[in-house]
Each structure stands twice: as C-alpha cells, then as structure tokens.
Amino acid sequence: MTSFSLQHQALEPAWFAALDPRTRLLAALLFTLIALCLSALPPLLFMLVMALFMTLVLGCQWRLIIKRMLAFEGFMVLVLLFLPFTVAGEPWFTFAGMDASYQGLTQALVILLRGNAVVLALLALVGSMEPVKLGYALAGLGLPEKLVQLFMMTVRYIGVLFDEHQRLRTAMKARAFVAGSNWHTWRSYGHLLGMLLVRSMERAQRISGAMRCRGFNGKFHLLMPVQWCQRDTAALTIAVLLFLLPLEWQWWQYGF
C-alpha cells in the first residue's frame, strides 16, 4: 500500500456508490457549467447551499472537506481584498487614496460563491471516487485513449514517486540536514530534485521494459468496463432538474 492517496475516504450511501461513474462526472460538469452561467447573488447562494447539502447526503468527511476548503479560501481572500479596488463604479470607501467600489465588491462575492459551490460539488461528486474508477469513467465518455492512459499511469505511479521522495528526505535527515535560508539548503534541495528526476526516469525505463515483455502494444485494456443502466438515467435526470432551478430563478427574476 502506498502512503500517498489521491482521494479522501467518504461513507458513501450504497445507492450512490452503485451509480455509473460517468453519471457523477456528468453531474459535476453540469453543476460547474450552470454555476459559471450564474451572475446574481441569490441563485449563486442557492447553488452553494445545494453543494453543502450534497456533501451531507453523500457522506463526505467534514474534517477533510474543511482542510481542502481552507487551502482554496486562501486564494479567495486575495480576491475579496483586491477586486473592489480594481473595478470602477460607485465608491464604497477609500483606503490609501484608492476607492473601493460596490460593483467590485459584488463581483468578488460572485466569484466567492461560485468558486466555493463548484469546489464543494466536485469534492462531493468526484472527490471520493477511486482514481481507477475515474479513469474508466473518462474512457467511457470517449476521451482520447492516450489521455486516459496517461491519467491511469500517473495515478498508479505518483504514489511510488512520493515514496521515493520520502526516502531521499529521510536520507538527508540521517546526514543531519537542517533546512534554513542559506545557499547550502537551496543547493541540497536542488540535488534532491535532480536525484528524484533521475530515479524517476530510471524507474520509467524499467516499467516500460517490463510492460513490453508482457506484450504491451500501446493499447490500454479496461478490465471492468462501465455500464449504464436505468438508475443512472434517473439519477442524472433528477440532478439536471435540480441544478437548473437556480438558472431558471435568475432568468425569471433578473432577466439574464
């Protein structure tokens, strides 16, 4: 077992885990597209509430959700701080000779609600999916075979490279390396990246040779092809109807 994992563990309901992974990808894509089409605050707030509801219903672990959202909010704080000063409009307040506008504040709130809604929906619908199942879903949706193959190989060996990086770091600590703000530290990190690159290339060559010995001819065969059934059609239809509600609200209430 690798010490590196790409997905968080979720206590998914049985009905959700049994869905075709393409259903979850299509639902996530539809949610994202609709969120990008919204520009009014109330419909976007409704989308955010809907995303929060999905994280509750689909059994996501809130500790990991909050941890990942905090990393995202670090960028959103910069948007909230600087965007009001860069958009012209009705002055809100003045700071250091610069005017913050209400229009800039509105755009910042739109970006904040839209970004949080999309990230939460992706974590709920796709974040708990196993990487291999995600690769099968991408292949089932007709994405280029080379792209799917690259994704599957990356998922398989990124953990191996992470473990190799950990071994190199352990070797550095065994030689009494202590990171600091000096030339020795930067040179040591440069050597670390160089050795990681060299070992990655050597491992890739060994893997390529082993695959050729086993008859690999460039075609990636899926052992468990995905199958669409009636429950997937019903689930996707319900998702479409729910996700379209904020768009209809914006159309009828605001006319755009």
User: How are the residues of the chain apportioned to helix, strand and coil, as percentages rounded to the nearest 5?
Assistant: 70, 5, 25
Least confident of 32-41, 82-91, 140-149, 167-176: 82-91
Given this model, what pLDDT does residue 159 score?
Answer: 81
Query: Cα separation of 203 and 53, whole Å?
Result: 44
Query: In the predicted model, is pLDDT for residue 1 greater than 70?
Result: no
The model's pLDDT over 56-75, given as tens digits with 9 standing for 90+, comes to 888 777 788 888 888 888 88
* 112 and 235 share one domain: yes
Contact partners, residue 157, CB within 8 Å, separation at least 6 = 203, 207
Given this model, what pLDDT does residue 10 score?
Answer: 53
* 121 and 165 share one domain: no
Query: In the predicted model, is pLDDT for residue 46 greater than 80?
Result: yes
More confident call, 177 vs 99: 177
Q: What percent of the chain has pLDDT over 70?
A: 93
Mean pLDDT of 6-22: 71
Given this model, what pLDDT does residue 7 score?
Answer: 46
Mean pLDDT of 147-174: 84
* 90 and 114 share one domain: yes
Transcribe 83-98 into DSSP letters: HHHHS-SSEEEEETTE
* 123 and 31 share one domain: yes
Quote the domain boundaries for residue 205. Answer: 137-213
Structure tokens at 151: 């994704």
Mean pLDDT of 88-103: 76
Given this model, what pLDDT does residue 32 score?
Answer: 94
Phi then psi for 86, rounded to 5 degrees?
A: -105, -5
* 110 and 145 share one domain: no
Measured between alpha carbons, how far is residue 146 from residues 3, 50, 152, 209 in Å?
Answer: 27, 35, 10, 19
The model's pLDDT over 165-177, given as tens digits with 9 standing for 90+, comes to 888 888 888 888 8
Query: In the predicted model, is pLDDT for residue 96 greater than 80?
Result: no
* 143 and 190 share one domain: yes
Q: How far is CA 72 from the centre of its chain?
A: 11
Given this model, what pLDDT does residue 222 score?
Answer: 67
Check: CB of residue 231 under 8 Å from CB of residue 19. yes
Q: What percent of the chain has pLDDT over 90?
A: 18
* 125 and 235 share one domain: yes
Query: Cα separation of 211 and 74, whole Å?
Result: 43
Given this model, what pLDDT does residue 224 score?
Answer: 67
* 30 and 56 share one domain: yes
Contact partners, residue 234, CB within 8 Å, separation at least 6 = none
pTM: 0.76
**From its phi and psi, is residue 215 left (phi > 0), alpha (psi between -120 and 50) or beta?**
left
Position 1 in a domain? no
CA neighbours closer than 13 Å in the CB half-sphere of residue 247: 13
Instruction: Look at the chain and report how many structural domains it folds into.
Output: 2
Query: Cα separation of 186 and 194, whole Å?
Result: 12
Query: In the predicted model, is pLDDT for residue 48 greater than 90?
Result: yes
* 34 and 125 share one domain: yes
Q: Are strands 91-95 and 98-101 parallel, antiparallel or unpaired?
A: antiparallel
